[in-house]
Amino acid sequence: MDLKKLAKTLIPDGDLREPAEYETIYPPRAVEKGAEVTRLAPSPTGFIHLGNLYSALADERCAHTTGGTFYLRIEDTDEKRKVEGAVESVIRSLKYFGIKFDEGAEIDSPLNNYGPYYQRQRAKIYRAFVKKLIEEGRAYPCFCTAEQLDEIRAKQTENKETTGYYGGYAKCRNLSEEEIYKNIAEGKPFVIRLKSLGDINNKKIFRDAIKGDITVTENDQDVVILKSDGIPTYHFAHAIDDHFMHTTLVIRGEEWLSSLPVHIELHEALGFKPPRYAHTCSLMKMDGGTKRKLSKRKDPELSLDYYRKAGYFPLAVVKYLMTVLNSNFEEWTLKNPDGDYRDFKFKIDKMGKSGALFDLDKLNEISRTEISKISAEDCYAFLNEWVSEFGTPADITHFKDKEYIVKILNLVMGTGGKKRRKDIERAEQGVRLIDYFFDDTFSPEYAYRFDAATVNGVLNGFTQVYDPADDNSQWFAKVKAVASENGFAAETGDYKANPAAYKGSVSDAAEILRVAVTGSPNSPDLCTIMGILGKRRATERLLKGRK
Ligand code: GLU
């Protein structure tokens, strides 16, 4: 068969370059030996999830701890799944978590020498290589219809054989020249398939950068490399792109492991040295005692938007993911509590080989710790940013008074005292936590543990003596006096020695004041809270709190 003629008929484009030219157009990168070139290669579906962030962090760390490059490539070969604004959303979401690309789609960078970074814009490159494979007898047109493929599949299923287009089932592999030209003349749609030379009885050891040595069975499937719309499949496009963009390490989800044999053969057929591959394990969660994969349908926490809307502290999410990525990161943070996570020596081969457990409780704990380390001013900025995007109109009004909020935060975070408090976990929760400092959002439930006479006695009594000029100990002395007047023990020790003689201890009396002023039996230092609220508002609340 005249393969050159066939290639020209199937790929008639008059403006294709010679494949070898691309080696000159995309020369090796000027990076140091050992520098990793990594990429995030999402499809623009608009759904950016924790798995993307997890991979992106591994990519970014590998590149930036070795003096390499991390770039963004958009795998948009499937037009149907494309969503407007998806690329911007990937960039924005990752930026929120402090992850930046060095080059790539929509990235303004002088390094953008390996583009275009949208696969649809690279069609000419792919087509040049498909043409080459046809000329070399490593690819052929397939005219099978969807119905014929269904029939093949049904037969294979019935015979309990592997499904797919291979061996004797690969009908179009053996079409005569005459049949091919006849089909083309009749205008039958076709795809281009790889002519596999593999044998599934041959097994090879493959070194995965995370999973170590794994046994890989040779591919024998004649996979589609160019679809009938002239656009390549992911398999083919990624091989070309990672070669010409000089990716050294492909970090991707383990769902791609089953395609690895195809990818190895594609690189061989194209004459390319494959990059190293690192297949990350899936993110799992505990659900009713069993471990399962995080699912888009069941788990809102899979979406990155969830973290932004809930106002997670970005650094906390990143640090949490670092603990999932490298199990020794946690140990490192214990030794370097204030260290920058970027100083940790991230190692791809230290990543877990199987199911990484995602633990929201642990993330929350890290989030509380990280927020407790910042200043009240920085916390104001963080909360205010969330408020401006997700807050209620009342939140927006409250946050205009920065001085008042910073005062509250100094108290809630314990920044003035010796010991930092860890009350703020996320922006959303933090903003709700301080609602009681504002009259329009103060909605107490007044869950008192004492009868009306006692509650009213304490509240009336304290209203009469309260003076905002009192310091903490003067304030407390007054609480004791009012407690005592109302049947409580002024000293805890007295109460313990003879509980039957009192209604409760001074702390129980103070709880009545606390409930009236804050709406809750638990709060930071009440004397300071009353000081922040000011005399008029504090007194109003004491009186309003009466039963
Ligand atoms: N486009 C593929 C995906 O979104 C990328 C896989 C890869 O990283 O090679 O899953």
Instruction: Please tell me the distance between residue 447's alpha carbon and the centre of ligand 1 in angstroms.
Output: 54
Local confidence band at 419 (pLDDT 50, 70, 90 cut-offs): confident
* Angle (deg, nearest 10), helices 177-185 and 3-10: 20
- Cα 286 to ligand 1 centre (Å): 26
CA of 252 to the centre of ligand 1 (A): 6
Ligand 1 geometric centre to CA of 412 (Å): 44
CB-ligand 1 contact for 43 (6 Å cutoff): yes
For residue 439, the model assigns a pLDDT of 97
Structure tokens at 394: 């009342």
Given a cut of 70, whether residue 417 has pLDDT beyond it is no
Whole-angstrom distance between the N-terminal and C-terminal Cα of the chain?
Answer: 98
- Return the ligand 1 atom nearest residue 255 CA: 10
What does 27-55 look like in DSSP terms, one character per residue? PPP---TT--EEEE---SSS--BHHHHHH
Q: How far is the CA of 463 from the centre of ligand 1 (A)?
A: 66
- Compute the C-alpha angle 348/352/355, nearest 5°: 140
Q: Whose CA is nearest to atom 2 of ligand 1?
A: 42
Cα–ligand 1 centroid distance for 387 (angstroms):
34
Q: Which of 60, 62, 236, 238 to mutate to test the pocket of ligand 1 (most atoms within 8 A of CB)?
A: 238
> Could you give the CA distance from residue 22 to residue 190 in angstroms, rounded to a whole number?
27
Q: What is the pLDDT of residues 30-83, one digit of tens each?
A: 989 999 999 999 999 878 889 899 999 999 999 999 999 999 999 999 878 888
Whether the pLDDT of residue 330 is over 80: the answer is: yes
User: What mean pLDDT do residues 499-514 have?
Assistant: 97
Cα distance between residue 1 and residue 3, in whole Å: 6
Q: Is the CB of 423 under 6 A from ligand 1?
A: no
For residue 252 and ligand 1, the question of a CB distance below 6 A is answered with yes
Nearest to 192 by CA among 182, 180, 200: 180
* 3-state DSSP assignment of residue 160: coil
**Which residue, by CA, sits nearest to atom 4 of ligand 1?**
42
**How much is the average pLDDT of 266-276?**
98
d(CA 316, CA 425): 10
Ligand 1 close to Cβ of residue 75 (< 6 A): yes
| Distance of alpha carbon 173 from alpha carbon 223, whole angstroms | 12
Q: Is the pLDDT of residue 416 over 80?
A: no
Q: Phi then psi for 169, rounded to 5 degrees?
A: -80, -15
Q: Which residue has the tokens 């401006």?
A: 388
Q: Does residue 52 have its Cβ closer than 6 Å to ligand 1?
A: no
Q: Which atom of ligand 1 lies nearest, measured to the CA of 39? A: 8
Cα 116 to ligand 1 centroid, rounded to whole Å: 17
Cα dist from 20 to 160, 272, 290, whole Å: 43, 12, 52
**Protein residue whose Cα sits closest to atom 8 of ligand 1:** 252
CA dist list (Å): 486 to 455, 480, 532: 9, 10, 27
